[in-house]
Structure 1
Amino acid sequence: MSDSRIETDVVIVGAGPVGLFAVFELGMLGLRAQLVDSLAGLGGQCQALYPEKPIYDIPGYPKILAGELIERLAEQAAPFQPGYHLEQRVETVQPTEAGRWRVVSSAGTEIDCGAVIVAAGVGAFGPNRPPLDGLYDYEGQGPGAGVHYLVSRREDFRDKRLVIAGGGDSALDWTLSLSDLAAKIYVVHRRDKFRAAPESVREMRRLADDPASPVELVVPYQLHGLSGEAGRLSGVDVATLEGEVRRLEADALLPFFGLSMNLGPIAEWGLDLERGSLKVDPAACETSTPGIYAIGDIASYPGKLKLILSGFSEAALAAHAIYARLNPDTPLHWEHSTTKGVPGFGA
């Protein structure tokens, strides 16, 4: 092995919530981990797309912001000293003569490991952009931009006139979340039926019927055009299917039409795929290639639930399976964390 090559027990592809929790589960079994992620920071979609969005189904937290959850998971992983390789993606995973794996990233990082865990969520992702002329002129970062595909800071939209387009959970979740900050929120959808959670739909309609609320339901309309000067948005045109056009005075457009997803190089690794996900054995989360595991949203098996808490369980299953693979002659004498303790926290 060359001096520049890193040696570890497990490489985790993806530093989202499930990948971070896998560091903890591996560490509790005495296994070291290195993480590789294409984003500039930890947290995957939770941090990149909705850090200030509340999550309600994390055990022990009746409500926790997505960004705060990532902070807690990174803190939980820290005692096991994981290595983070950010803003690079795994290009190749090749078996070595020693029965191990050599992982090479787009930045040229080479890591030798005994097993690989793919925790890449939906893979590489980006927004589905609406087909509007001049759209790119209004895109950008920060509160001055006119078109936003995510909400990093709710405060950026205080006292703004907003057009939120879409009929799914993201559109309605942010309508509800921003309704106490924005001066006006136009909810634009091509029909009066929404795909979001029923409770969200009921609350959105309640706000739309309240004269004191800033929320106005604009249906059945779809986005038609943008207006403004020097990259600063001043209005959004919407139109019915019959061609009736209405202009909405607005400071920002938030189109939530889902994400375009791409597995990238993972699709070329020879693993069995099922509708863009990796098929795994649910007992161990091992893929069709022994020594490569998948957990979180990218893993597929009968009865799979795409929930963060399911990914946490899969991280534990994969960690125990990997321990048995790397230590075939050393039975695991499992101890609960309450007995064993965690480095830096005592028993």
Structure 2
Amino acid sequence: MSAQTEVKTDVLIVGAGPVGIFTAFECGMAGLKSHLIDALPHPGGQCVALYPEKPIFDIPALPRITGGALIEQLLTQARPFEPVFHCSAHIVEMDRRDDRWYVVMSSGVKIVCGAIIVASGAGLLRPNKPDWPGLDRFEGCGVHYGVTHKDRFENRSVVIAGGGDSAVDWAVELAPITRSLTLIHRRERFRAAPETLRQMHELVDTGRIEIVAPAKVLGLGGSDQQLQHVEVQVGTSPRIIDCDDMLLFFGLATDASAYHEWGLRIDGTQVVVEPATCATNLAAVFAVGDVATYPGKLKLILTGFSEAAIAAREAYRLCNPNEEIFTEYSTARGVPVTH
């Protein structure tokens, strides 16, 4: 979608993490079209950016599911309602007139909507970026801050930088399909779950992963806006590592300042809502999931899913003031058929 495009929709969902994606599903079940905006370059929030391979145990009827698999299932669930995702973007301007919200994104896209549902978790999440020569040049041209579809790295030479859960998780996940995988860390010791570290060392022993640590990245290089190599210093010796792609996992920075700028009533870094409706102090703006707070709030993912259903139905009432909404079981309603 090009800059300066103006699109109309029923609901704009701020945040494309698990609760945001489920909010899009619930909006669809209520008969509403939705767009989602997220500062990260991919849907999934922290489940994909930080914990794709970590198991989650409190999703009803799913005794165990990884963060990445949960996002895949939620995207599949929402897909029949055709939600539109705007990634690597944030809101730069909001204005309400004629009972509609007029929102301008950093991409230049303008959204006109009847309601806004904030589902941004801990706030706007942006990847921490190191100060490496050449980094900006190759963002989107070989440098990535997350994985949306792991198949895109099949039979490619990949370098992963980082030493925490995300770096090790994705090294283990991608090693079987890449042509080569090099894991770079500034220290010899990695911070990850014991089982994941065991799997990593097995892949090192079989030659599927090469660990370069302790190492310091000196810069990135390539031509025609395409990453081709990473220059590192190992001890006192420089080394060039050829690669097609580089994944950077240095955590996420949280920014909740936008809530105050929008005029939302906040408590610390959370948005205060009415628990019965998830409504904020701004007209036609709701908040759900970890970003929302009220007395007695239980900060669990399933609470966010419940709040998503509540907010979607309240949004329907605003978008369709002359119609009555009937709560139907999904067994009776069904979902659109996708092809």
TM-score by length of 1: 0.67
- Partner of 1:35, secondary structure, is strand
Equivalent residue in structure 2 for 1:273, among 242, 246, 266: 266
Q: Which residues of structure 2 form unaligned runs of 5+?
A: 1-5
Cα contact 1:36–1:89 (8 A) shared by 2: no
Q: Superposition pairs for residues 170-209 of structure 1, below 5 Å? A: 170-208=166-204
Structure 1 pair 337–23 and aligned structure 2 pair: CA distance change class (3 A) = same
Cα contact 2:9–2:33 (8 A) shared by 1: no
In the other structure, the counterpart of 2:242 is 250
Aligned residue identity for 2:178: A
- Partner of 2:144, secondary structure, is coil
In the other structure, the counterpart of 1:132 is 132
Q: Report the CA distance between 1:173 and its aligned residue.
A: 1.6
Cα contact 1:224–1:239 (8 A) shared by 2: no
Q: Superposition pairs for residues 228-307 of structure 1, below 5 Å? A: 232-239=227-234, 244-247=236-239, 249-251=241-243, 252-262=245-255, 266-274=259-267, 276-281=269-274, 284-289=277-282, 291-300=284-293, 302-305=297-300, 307=301
In the other structure, the counterpart of 1:22 is 23
In structure 1, how many angstroms separate the alpha carbons of the residues matched to 2:167 and 2:179? 17
In the other structure, the counterpart of 1:44 is 43
Aligned residue identity for 2:218: H
- Partner of 1:234, secondary structure, is strand
In structure 2, how many angstroms separate the alpha carbons of the residues matched to 1:259 and 1:311? 21
In structure 1, how many angstroms separate the alpha carbons of the residues matched to 2:28 and 2:71? 23
In structure 1, how many angstroms separate the alpha carbons of the residues matched to 2:267 and 2:164? 24
- Partner of 1:44, secondary structure, is coil
Q: Percent identity?
A: 34
In structure 2, how many angstroms separate the alpha carbons of the residues matched to 1:335 and 1:131? 53
In structure 1, how many angstroms separate the alpha carbons of the residues matched to 2:179 and 2:7? 55
Q: Report the CA distance between 1:24 and its aligned residue.
A: 4.0
- Deviation track 1:54-113 (CA, whole Å, cap 9, x = no partner) reads 7865656757474564243121x35xxx7x5958865325376xxxx43002245433x3
Cα contact 2:181–2:210 (8 A) shared by 1: yes
Alignment coverage as a number of residue pairs: 313
- Deviation track 1:278-305 (CA, whole Å, cap 9, x = no partner) reads 3445554333446532124543565424
- Deviation track 1:10-49 (CA, whole Å, cap 9, x = no partner) reads 5544566534433443454x563443536899x7346xx7
Aligned residue identity for 1:74: R
Equivalent residue in structure 2 for 1:105, among 103, 114, 118: 103
In the other structure, the counterpart of 1:72 is 77
Equivalent residue in structure 1 for 2:217, among 223, 229, 239: 223
Q: Report the CA distance between 1:174 and its aligned residue.
A: 1.2
Cα contact 1:272–1:287 (8 A) shared by 2: yes
**Is 1:117 aligned with 2:126?**
no
Q: Superposition pairs for residues 308-347 of structure 1, below 5 Å? A: 309-319=302-312, 334-338=327-331, 340-342=332-334
**Alignment RMSD (CA, Å):** 4.5
Aligned residue identity for 1:224: L
Structure 1 pair 237–105 and aligned structure 2 pair: CA distance change class (3 A) = same
In structure 2, how many angstroms separate the alpha carbons of the residues matched to 1:201 and 1:245? 27
Aligned residue identity for 2:119: A
In structure 1, how many angstroms separate the alpha carbons of the residues matched to 2:17 and 2:192? 24
In structure 2, how many angstroms separate the alpha carbons of the residues matched to 1:187 and 1:38? 28
162-171 or 267-276, which deviates more: 267-276
Aligned residue identity for 1:237: V
